[in-house]
A and B are shown apart, each in its own frame.
Chain A
Amino acid sequence: MSLLRLDRVSRHFGKLQAVQDVSFEMNEGELRAIIGPNGAGKTTFFNLITGFVPPTSGDVWFAGESIRDKAVVYRVKKGIVRTFQITEVFPDLSVYENVRFGVETAAGVNGRPWLPRAKRLELARRTDELIEVVGLAAKADRVVSELAHGDQRVVEIAIALTMNPRLLLLDEPTAGMGDAETDHMVDLIRRLHSERKLSILFIEHDMSIVFGIAQKITVLDHGRLLAEGTAAEVSVDPQVRAAYLGEEAKA
């Protein structure tokens, strides 16, 4: 059964058609990439899935339920968790404090002025575990704003993981990274998919990454779904080539 399904979804901003009549389906456990030129509507597509903007028309289904009219927070609780194109962390706090806040939020104890020792230890263990998973254990006490850009993006993913996602949406996770950082991020995405069995949908401009790890690729252009398929299928698609070549010709 499909985990996520979009039914002829559109979103207009005034006259601008950011997403137009897109139908989309993704299965549980899938690792899927979204590609497309700048302004193709990729981030808007994420916003429709996560509830940051409501669709102008169409319907969104998650795990068999229509979430079209549900708030962001409801979707987070259902397991739709995202990271942002521009890094969103708690900059003046340590890595540990960033992740701990997510863990406490997921545990629903945000408002507690006091926690019993056992609960405190349990949450501390969970925090340590997630920091370990993303490979930041050695930097747990460092202030996030003083970390390299790549590490900050990893912190963002760690925060997302605290929410126990079923579907993880990553908006350009490697943007602005150096080679070593990119490799680390790609490895992390791959491990989250294979070891933690997460369904992951990521937006990415770097084709070598997309072709390297995505099981299936969805191509958007001018808000429309242009093509969909495996790396081999998409890379020879004449429409895709035209969209990208057109882009390069303009640039």
Chain B
Amino acid sequence: MMRDERLWMALGWIVLALAPWWLPWLGGYSALGTKVLVYGLGVMALNLLLGFAGGLSFGHAAYFGLGAYGAGMTLKYLAPSTPLALLAGTVVGGLAATAFGPLVMRRRGIYFAMITIAIGQLLYFVAVRWNEFTGGEDGLAGFSRQPLHFGGWVLDIRDENKYYYVVLVCFTVAAWIMRGVLRSPLGHTWVAIRENRRRAEFLGVRADLYIWAAFAISGTFMALAGALNALLFNFTSPQDLHWILSGDFVIMIVLGGMRNFWGPLLGALIYIVAQDYLSSVTDNWMTFIGLLFMVIVLAFPRGILGLLRRRGKAAA
């Protein structure tokens, strides 16, 4: 089992590392691959909270957007440094998630969801109204990712292929950390709380504090994704904070399968590739995504990866 998973991970990683070579072959382009990784990272971060700890956040775009604005504003107003921008975006989003955590940590189910949406919409309106600083409705432009300096050596990541590798490295490190945490006692505690919060509390577990931790960690990695996204397009807008994007994240997770660590990545891949392809064919692409979503929810409630897993088990 364990060795099987390692093998798959190694294979998957090789496929990802070679993406700039094979993507054009399939009619793709490396920025599309970058976007899949960025969103994949974001939804894996959200799924740590949603799928593993059972916290139904429907407002996680808040932290994606904060990461994006944090990174963009750092480049625009503070210093022309890519690492600093990524760090600033991640820290801003992570701190916000940590600060908002206590508002949600005792809520359950739908109440949890409603408060997370409300927080997200609050930030959305701040971004829209605070014109002179955020660019308002038009979004924040006028910044661009800067070459990386390693001592005397310069890596010009303004090139799309090179930026893809920056994102791949961030994705790999973040995924490795999240996977490690989910396999630690902390991760076991989240799952236990999801399964039976009362029972866990009777054993002496302060469930609210652990949900808070999940919220903060999840928000931090989501913010990293947002920062990477802002630097991918050298642009961000209030749409990156909006509840519609939060909903898209949840759709990606459900598509791929939320009981599996890698499921959301698969969901992001399907969603973004379908969006990229369908939106070039029809304006009604969202209808098709909606249909696909319904088919998957009805036919495979555990998501696509959940289904593949089942098949694998049955065959074994």
Binding site for B on A (CB under 8 A): 72-73, 76-77, 88-93, 97, 100-102, 104-105, 109-115, 159, 163
Q: In the assembly, what is the distance between CA of A111 and CA of B186, in Å?
A: 5
Residues of B within 8 A of A115 (CB): 184-185
Binding site for A on B (CB under 8 A): 180-181, 184-189, 191-192, 195-196, 198-200, 202-205, 209-210, 213
> How many whole Å from B4's CB to the nearest CB in chain A?
15
Which one of A76, A91, A114 has the highest number of Cβ atoms from chain B below 10 Å of its Cβ? A114
With A76-B204, A110-B205, A110-B210 already in contact, the answer to whether A89 and B199 are too (CB < 8 A) is yes
A109 touches B185 (CB 8 A): yes
Tell me what chain B mostly uses at the interface: helix, strand, loop, or mixed.
helix
Q: In the assembly, what is the distance between CA of A77 and CA of B180, in Å?
A: 29
Can you identify 23 A-B contacts, CB atoms within 8 angstroms?
A72-B202, A73-B202, A76-B203, A77-B204, A89-B196, A90-B196, A90-B200, A92-B195, A93-B191, A100-B188, A101-B189, A101-B200, A102-B203, A104-B189, A105-B200, A109-B185, A111-B210, A112-B184, A112-B186, A114-B180, A114-B181, A114-B184, A159-B199
Q: In the assembly, what is the distance between CA of A97 and CA of B188, in Å?
A: 8
Residues of B within 8 A of A114 (CB): 180-181, 184
B195 touches A105 (CB 8 A): no
> How many whole Å from B265's CB to the nearest CB in chain A?
21
Chain B minimum-CB-distance residue to A163? B203
With A111-B185, A115-B185 already in contact, the answer to whether A91 and B196 are too (CB < 8 A) is yes
Residues of B within 8 A of A77 (CB): 204
Q: In the assembly, what is the distance between CA of A97 and CA of B52, in Å?
A: 14
B184 touches A105 (CB 8 A): no
With A73-B204, A93-B191 already in contact, the answer to whether A104 and B185 are too (CB < 8 A) is yes
Residues of A within 8 A of B195 (CB): 90-93
Q: In the assembly, what is the distance between CA of A112 and CA of B187, in Å?
A: 9
Q: In the assembly, what is the distance between CA of A113 and CA of B180, in Å?
A: 8
Q: In the assembly, what is the distance between CA of A93 and CA of B188, in Å?
A: 10
Chain A minimum-CB-distance residue to B196? A90
A112 touches B185 (CB 8 A): yes
With A105-B204, A105-B205, A163-B203 already in contact, the answer to whether A110 and B191 are too (CB < 8 A) is no
With A76-B203, A77-B204, A88-B198 already in contact, the answer to whether A101 and B188 are too (CB < 8 A) is yes
B181 touches A113 (CB 8 A): yes
Residues of B within 8 A of A90 (CB): 191-192, 195-196, 199-200
Residues of A within 8 A of B189 (CB): 101, 104-105, 110-111
Q: In the assembly, what is the distance between CA of A251 and CA of B124, in Å?
A: 64
A110 touches B185 (CB 8 A): yes
Residues of A within 8 A of B181 (CB): 113-114
Q: In the assembly, what is the distance between CA of A112 and CA of B202, in Å?
A: 19
Q: In the assembly, what is the distance between CA of A89 and CA of B195, in Å?
A: 8
B186 touches A113 (CB 8 A): yes
Chain A minimum-CB-distance residue to B213? A111
Q: In the assembly, what is the distance between CA of A75 and CA of B276, in Å?
A: 58
Residues of A within 8 A of B192 (CB): 90, 93, 101
Chain B minimum-CB-distance residue to A88? B199
Q: In the assembly, what is the distance between CA of A178 and CA of B217, in Å?
A: 46
Chain B minimum-CB-distance residue to A123? B185
14 other A-B residue contacts (CB within 8 Å) besides A111-B186, A114-B180: A88-B198, A89-B196, A90-B192, A90-B196, A90-B200, A91-B196, A109-B185, A110-B189, A111-B189, A111-B209, A112-B186, A113-B181, A114-B184, A115-B184
Residues of B within 8 A of A105 (CB): 189, 200, 203-205
Q: In the assembly, what is the distance between CA of A104 and CA of B192, in Å?
A: 11
Residues of A within 8 A of B186 (CB): 110-113
